Amino acid sequence: MLFYTTDDPLRVDSVAYIPFFLNVEPADRIVIIGGGAVALAKTQALRSAGAALHVVAEKLLPELHWTIQRLGGTVDVSLYEARFLYGAKLVIAATSDKALNARIRADARGLGIPVNVVDTPELCDFIFPAVVERGDIQIAISTSGINPTLARLLKRRIEQLLPWNFAALAAWLKTKRTAARQQILSLQSRRLFWEDVLESAIPQEILEGNLARGEALFAEALKQQPEGKRAALYLIGAGPGHPDLITVKATQLLGQADVILYDRLVPHGLLSRYARKDAQAIAVGKEPGRHHKTQAEIDALLERQLRAGKIVVRLKGGDPGIYAHSAEEIAVAARLGVPYQIVPGITAALGCAATAGIPLTERDGASGVRFLTLYDEQLHDDAFWKSLGLSRKETLVFYMSGSRHRAVCERLLQAGFHADTLMLAIEQGTTPQHEEYEATIGTFADRYEGFSFITPALLIVGDVVRWRARHQWKEAPSERKAYFAEDAHGGI
């Protein structure tokens, strides 16, 4: 028997559903009140529960009566009374009488029994998902009762992804658990071994019925399994803010991590979606005027975890090679002789420009692009600004400089940029709170005088900004607020 399940709890108005599976024994009673098509559908949905089904109704469809008999259940052809609920593990109100359904719910609640009122999610203690079944493997999908058709669509797509005999693979893997546990003592090594097996040719051999070949490949994999823990460092770019702008490789490596050190600008939901539930997530993000950890503290933390034999993911917003201190963190792994990988991500300039409909380079518009950021020494470095004066045919992207837009405008004008050159500020780019603010170098500072851009924000300067008017496709949010909340990753 199963309840609704998904990545995160969902709400219907003020009702929250927590996903979990419920164990039901053969002696447990599930009482269904109703004798029509809805009661029949719920009875058929419960056919694999292995519980004692009991139907109560004044009249029953012949098919419902036959189904209950076939499943070894019982029937009371009677008016509903609360006594029928005594000793039940679950109750389902499936009548067409709303008042009666409400009465059943009240009676079940009074007896401390979870109740489902069909097609009335606000009265339900639990709801039924669409289910994909492959033997012991069950995948449950729900829209919290809002749109069952959508749940069925998702079910159909998942059905297409899983081979019809997928249960055979699960059953075969079950026979190998003891051998793997006896030979591979480290929990981390055992987990990585199973990941390697499931990503190898072995599953396909088993699914095709080539059991001898699968057995031989498994024995060889077990023989080749290295001893001890396998420390590694993965520097992963999480993308500019939109949760889907992350690479496939990044999601794969996130699933291997024992420890994840993540920045403030990591998109919402990435950890709960891709990381293991038992992985340790540590916030090390930085924002103007406030750091969870200094870079030296982050480096020391990396070293401790790597020395302990952990697989560590350093998860960074955007790309790990753009203003992200990656070289310092790689040096820690190199000093310890620990393998590492750099997994690129979509950096803010690319993501924000694409969402704004701007090509960063364009024939007759910009021959190149520069990624820049302003530290105090650069702001007052005349040679730096003089060099930008030679870049008037290029697109300039200033990271982490939204608060200094007046200084940027003044110094660019001094460097020889024309006052009519277009300038665009983008705050919280690619996220649902993506906002754009356009002007020229000559008018930008006065137009947005005293305005505080929500971080992260960047500035794009150059003729390519003109494409925004033709290519803009992202609507502005209805409410201006911070997207990267402090507790966005409060747990995995």
Alpha helix (H) ranges present in 111-210?
A: 148-161, 166-174, 177-183, 187-198, 202-207
277 burial type by CB count under 10 A (0-12 exposed, 13-18 middle, 19+ buried): exposed
**Given 286, 293, 381, 474, the catalytic residue:** 286
185 shares a domain with 82: no
**Rg value, the chain, Cα:** 30
Q: Classify residue 407: in a domain, yes or no.
A: yes
465 shares a domain with 332: no
Read off the pLDDT of residues 206-226 as tens digits, 9 standing for 90 and up.
999 999 999 999 999 998 887
Residue 9 has a pLDDT of: 40
**Given 263, 310, 316, 319, the catalytic residue:** 263
Q: What is the CATH number of the domain that holds 454?
A: 3.30.950.10
Residue ending a domain, among 224, 242, 264, is 224
Residue 376 has a pLDDT of: 83
Q: Tell me whether residue 174 is one of the annotated catalytic residues.
A: no
154 shares a domain with 70: yes
Residue ending a domain, among 316, 345, 374, is 345
Q: What is the mean pLDDT of residues 314-328?
A: 94
Strand order in the sheet with 52-57: 74-77, 52-57, 29-33, 88-93, 115-117
Q: Classify residue 5: in a domain, yes or no.
A: no
Residue 45 has a pLDDT of: 86
- Report the relative pairing of strands 435-440 and 290-291 from DSSP bridges: unpaired
Residue 486 has a pLDDT of: 58
16 shares a domain with 156: yes
376 shares a domain with 316: no
Q: Tell me whether residue 286 is one of the annotated catalytic residues.
A: yes
Range of the structural domain that residue 38 is part of: 10-161
Read off the pLDDT of residues 359-376 as tens digits, 9 standing for 90 and up.
999 987 798 999 999 888
240 shares a domain with 218: no
409 shares a domain with 282: no
Beta strands in 347-409 (DSSP E): 369-373, 395-399
Angle between helices 211-224 and 187-198 (to 10 degrees): 140
462 shares a domain with 412: yes
The whole model's pTM is what? 0.74
Read off the pLDDT of residues 383-401 as tens digits, 9 standing for 90 and up.
999 999 888 889 999 999 9
pLDDT exceeds 50 at position 12: no
Q: Classify residue 196: in a domain, yes or no.
A: yes
In one letter, which amino acid is 246? Answer: I
Residue 10 has a pLDDT of: 40
Residue ending a domain, among 141, 161, 181, is 161
118 shares a domain with 29: yes
131 shares a domain with 57: yes
Structure token pair of residue 290:
């406030």
- 16 vs 457, residue with greater confidence: 457
Q: Classify residue 491: in a domain, yes or no.
A: no
Q: What is the mean pLDDT of residues 3-8?
A: 38
In one letter, which amino acid is 42? Answer: K
Residue 315 has a pLDDT of: 97
Residue 212 has a pLDDT of: 95
Residue 468's pLDDT band, with cuts at 50, 70 and 90, is very high
Domain count, the chain: 4
Q: Classify residue 306: in a domain, yes or no.
A: yes
pLDDT exceeds 60 at position 70: yes
Q: What is the mean pLDDT of residues 108-131?
A: 91
Q: What is the CATH number of the domain that holds 109?
A: 3.40.50.720
210 burial type by CB count under 10 A (0-12 exposed, 13-18 middle, 19+ buried): middle
Q: Classify residue 476: in a domain, yes or no.
A: no
| % of the chain beyond a pLDDT of 70 | 93
- 359 vs 230, residue with greater confidence: 359
Which of 15-19, 158-162, 303-307 has maximum average pLDDT? Answer: 303-307
pLDDT exceeds 70 at position 3: no
155 shares a domain with 238: no
- 171 vs 285, residue with greater confidence: 171
Residue 291's pLDDT band, with cuts at 50, 70 and 90, is low
Going from the C-alpha of 9 to that of each of 18, 143, 157, 158, the distances in angstroms are 5, 10, 22, 20
Q: What is the CATH number of the domain that holds 288?
A: 3.40.1010.10
146 shares a domain with 252: no
How far apart are the C-alpha atoms of 161 and 172, rounded to whole Å?
20
Q: Classify residue 134: in a domain, yes or no.
A: yes
Q: Classify residue 379: in a domain, yes or no.
A: yes
